[in-house]
């Protein structure tokens, strides 16, 4: 499960930025096309954060739907997968959203 490695990296990055204060909340953005499962990140977060500044922190995940714009006809469309095509039949799509994997914000305990 690659989500455990990703979650450990998230915990490490947030811990480094927050030190020495404890983290009470972390908000992530995860795009639909990232091949990262939000439920797996939620499961891994409790394990990966044990014994760190994030232990007990609330994890919020914003799931970003995939969207693209067709370079042929200009229509903006939702994507179900990386292999999707436009309603005009073209596969020449510019991805607009859905590939994000961001630490959007973190909340720290008062000093």
Domains of the chain: 2-65+98-108 (3.30.2320.50)
pLDDT tier, 110 (very low <50, low <70, confident <90, very high otherwise): confident
Predicted local confidence at residue 34, as pLDDT: 93
Burial label, 41 (beta-carbon count in 10 A; 0-12, 13-18, 19+): buried
pLDDT of residue 62: 98
Overall pTM surpassing 0.75 (yes/no) = yes
| DSSP single-letter state for residue 83 | T
Q: What is the mean pLDDT of residues 21-45?
A: 96
């Amino acid at each position: 499960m690659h989500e455990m490695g990703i979650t450990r990296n998230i915990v490490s990055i947030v811990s480094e930025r927050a030190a020495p204060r404890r983290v009470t909340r972390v908000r992530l953005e995860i795009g639909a096309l990232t091949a990262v499962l939000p439920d797996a990140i939620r499961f891994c977060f409790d394990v990966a954060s044990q014994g760190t500044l994030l232990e007990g922190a609330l994890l919020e995940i914003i799931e970003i739907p995939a969207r693209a714009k067709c370079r042929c006809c200009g229509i903006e469309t939702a994507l179900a997968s990386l292999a999707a095509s436009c309603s005009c039949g073209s596969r020449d799509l510019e991805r607009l959203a859905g590939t994000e994997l961001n630490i959007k914000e973190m909340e720290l305990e008062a000093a």
